[in-house]
Amino acid sequence: MRALYIHADSMEFEAKEKTKAAEDIPAELHNGKMEEVLVVFITVESDDEKKIPQVAAEASKDILSTKEKVGAERVLLYPYAHLSSDLARPKASVELLDLIRDMVAASGAEVIRAPFGWYKAFDVKCKGHPLSELSRDFKGKEEKSAPKGKDSYFVLTPEGKEIEIGDYSGGSDCMKFKIDKEALGKEAPAAGEPEYLRLCRKFGIQWESMSDAGHMCLAPHGAMMFDLISDYATQIVNSSGIDVYNVKGTNMFSLDEPAVKEHADLFGDRLYTVSTGKKSFVLRYAACHQQFAMIRNWNVSYKQMPFGAFEVADSYRLEQSGECMLCFRSRRLNMPDFHVLCRDVPEAQDYFALLDGKIYWEIENIGRDYDMLVNFSSRQAYEDNKDLIVKLCRQHKKDALIHLYPDGINYYWTVNIEYHLLDQMNRPREIGTVQIDIGNAKRFGITYADEKGEKQYPVILHCAVIGSIERFMYSHLDTAVGIEKTGVPGYLPTWITPEQVRLMPLTGDFVKAAQDMASKLRAAGIRVSIDDTDATVGKKVRRAKQDWCSYAAVIGEEEVKSGSLKAYVRSENKDAAVTVEGLIERIKQETAGYPVRPMYMPTDLSRRCEL
C-alpha cells in the first residue's frame, strides 16, 4: 500500500461521477470537508490483499504517529489510484480502507473516508512546513516469532557425513580454532599486539583521533593500497561473466521508509544512526539499501537475468569501540558489495557456486586458504541446500562447520557462507562472504516479468568476493607478517606495493641519469621514486628496504655506461642483473591483470615532507 500524507489547513471533496468500481454511498457522504487535517491519499496494491490486517495495522499506527508529530487534529482517508500501477481488486481495497479507518477511530481520533471508485473534485490547502508532505510504502510487517530451540553446530564432510562437534578430530588449525570460537564459545586468549599493526604504522594506516571511534585515516602509501584494492574489487566483479550494473549511491536512508526500517530491524544493534532534528536516518551497513532502491524502479524481464549490481560502498556499523581493529573491524568500512539477481533458487544456487569459486581463487592467489562457516536460517534451509554445500566441500576437499539457527525466526536469507583464514595470532578471521536472500526482493518491491508476463520476485545473492577493502588489505599485511616468520624480508605483491622501484643515484652527478630511467619506468605505468638526498649509499639502500620497495637499484657510472642495473629484488631477497627494459618487462609480468595507479607522493625524496 502506498500513501501520500498532506498536512493541510483544510481539505474539501465532492463525489462527481461513478466508475465501474464505485461503491454505493448515501447522499450525505458525497461531500466532505475537514480543517486542521492530515490528508492520507491511499493506493491499495495487489500484494496487500494477502495481508490486509497487517498492512492496516502498520498504516494506522504510522498515520496516528504522524498526526501527533505534525499536530493535526483529524484524519481524512482519500482513496487515490495514482500512486501505483499495481492495484488491488476494488473489494479488497475497500476492506483495507475501512479497516484503517476503524483502527484510527478506535484510538479516539476523528476520521472520515472519502468514497472509493468515484471521480471526485477536491481542494486541499497544504501548510507547507518541512513535514507537511510525506510519502509512505506499507508492506505489512512480518510477524516476529520466538525461536524454537537453540543454535546448533556440526561438521559436514565432502562425503556428506554429519559429525557432532564432540566427535570431530580432523580438519585444519583454522577449523579447530573456528570450532572453539563459534561452536564452543572459546575465544583465543589475548597474545599482545598483533604484528600486522607494525606494518599499518609503516604504511600510514591509523585511527583518526578527531573522529568517532573506529574511523580510519590513510596516509599516501595506505591510500594507494586502498585505492588499488578498490579498483581490483571492481575489476573482479566486472570480469565475472555476469552482466553488471555499476552504480553509486548515498550512505544515508530514512527510517520512515518501511522497507528500510524493516531491513534495519533485522540487522540488530549495530545500526549507526543520524538525526537531523526532523528525521532519523540509518547509515548503510552495505550497499543493499541503495541498490535495492534503484532496482525496484527498473523494468526487468527474465531475458535480462541473471544480472548484478555493484558498488564499493562506504558502510557503517556501530561496533563496540573496544573491539575495533585497524583494517579488520571498524565503524566505517568500504564494502565491494555485489548483488546478483536470479530468477529462482536453482539458478541462485548455480551462481552461488560460481561466486564461491572466485572467493577461493582470490585468497589462494595470495598464498592463503579458507575454511568455511556455513550458516543456515533453519533446519529446512539446511536440507534444501545441503547438496550445494556438499558439492563445495568436495570441490575444495574440505570439511565445513555448519551452524543452524533455531527454527521459528523469519529471516530474509537461507544460507550464508563466511570464509575464514587463520591469522598470525591463530584467530579465524572472516574475509569473503556469499549469501542467498529470498526476502528482500519482496520487502523492497523488486520484481521481474517472467515468460508469461507475470510479476515474480527474484532471488538475490549478496557477495563480497574479497571481503571489505580493509579486510583484504589486512589479509595482505597478515600474509607479509607470515613471510617474515620464515626468516626472509616480508613483502607485498608488486601490484599493491606503494613504491615499486627505488632508484638511488650514487652522487648528485647521477641524478639526471636516474631521472631519465624513471621517465621510462613511469611511462610504462610503474611507480618509481628517486632517492636524490645527500644520504650515503648505505643509508639509501637501508631506506629503500625499510620502505618495502619491490625493487631498488643504485645508479652510478657503471650502470650508466652498461645500461644494466643490479636491482635488489625484495620478494627474492637477492640482487638481479637487469636492464631498464628488462625491469619493465619483469614488473609487467608480475602485475599483469591488476590495476595500475601513479605515485601518491612526489617522485624525488628530497621534495617529500616527513610524514
How many residues appear in the chain?
611
Q: Distance of alpha carbon 393 from its chain centroid, rounded?
A: 26
Q: Is 232 helix (H, G, I), strand (E, B) or coil?
A: helix
- Closest of 514, 513, 537, 519 to residue 584, by C-alpha: 519
Can you tell me the distance from the alpha carbon of 114 to that of 105, in angstroms, rounded to the nearest whole number? 15
Pairing of the two strands 280-283 and 31-43: unpaired
Query: Which residues, given as ranges, of the chain have pLDDT below 70?
Result: 141-147, 190, 267-269
At residue 139, the pLDDT reads 81
Residue 225 · residue 498 · CB < 8 Å: yes
Cis amide linkage into residue 595, ω under 30° from 0: no
Question: For residue 327, is it left (φ>0), alpha (ψ between -120 and 50) or beta?
Answer: left
**What's the CA gap between 557 and 565, in Å, rounded?**
11
Report how far Cα 262 is from the mean position of its chain's Cα atoms: 17
Question: What's the pLDDT score for residue 143?
Answer: 55
CB atoms within 10 A of CB 86: 14
Three-state DSSP state, 200: helix
Contact 493, 564 (CB under 8 A): no
How many Å apart are CA 442 and CA 412, to the nearest integer? 10
Query: Angle, nearest 10°, between helix axes 220-238 and 469-484?
Result: 110
pLDDT the model gives residue 144: 55
- Which residues does 298 contact at the CB level (< 8 Å), separation at least 6? none
Residues with Cβ within 8 Å of 346's Cβ and at least 6 positions away in sequence, in order, are none
Domains of the chain, CATH where assigned? 2-137 (3.50.80.10), 152-247+285-477 (3.30.930.10), 501-607 (3.40.50.800)
Residue 79: strand pairing partners? 42
Q: Tell me phi and psi for residue 605, to 5 degrees.
A: -65, -30
User: How far, in Å, CA of 489 to CA of 547, rounded?
Assistant: 12
3-state SS, residue 539 = helix
Kindly state the DSSP code that residue 179 receives in the 8-state scheme: I
Residue 124 forms beta bridges with which residues? 11
| pTM of the full structure | 0.79
Secondary structure class of 118 (helix, strand, coil): strand
pLDDT at 267: 67
Half-sphere exposure of residue 465, counting CA atoms within 13 Å on the CB side?
A: 28
Grid coordinates belonging to 436: 542467498
Question: For residues 317 and 285, is the Cβ–Cβ distance under 8 A?
Answer: yes
Q: 212-217: list long-range contacts, CB under 8 Å, 24+ apart.
A: 212/331, 213/321, 213/324, 213/331, 214/319, 214/321, 214/324, 214/329, 214/330, 214/331, 214/332, 215/330, 215/331, 215/332, 216/326, 216/327, 216/330, 216/332, 216/470
- pLDDT, residue 187, reads 77
- Tell me whether residue 577 is exposed, middle or buried, using C-beta atoms within 10 angstroms of its C-beta: 0 to 12, 13 to 18, 19 or more: exposed
- How many of the other CB atoms lie within 10 Å of CB of 573? 12
Name the residue among 33, 52, 41 with its Cα closest to residue 79: 41
400 strand-pairing partners:
156, 372
Residue 276 pLDDT: 82
| Strand residue runs (E) in 276-388 | 280-283, 307-316, 332-342, 371-376
Q: Which of 231, 269, 256 is nearest to 472 (CA)?
A: 231
The span from the CA of 176 to the CA of 182, in Å, is 10
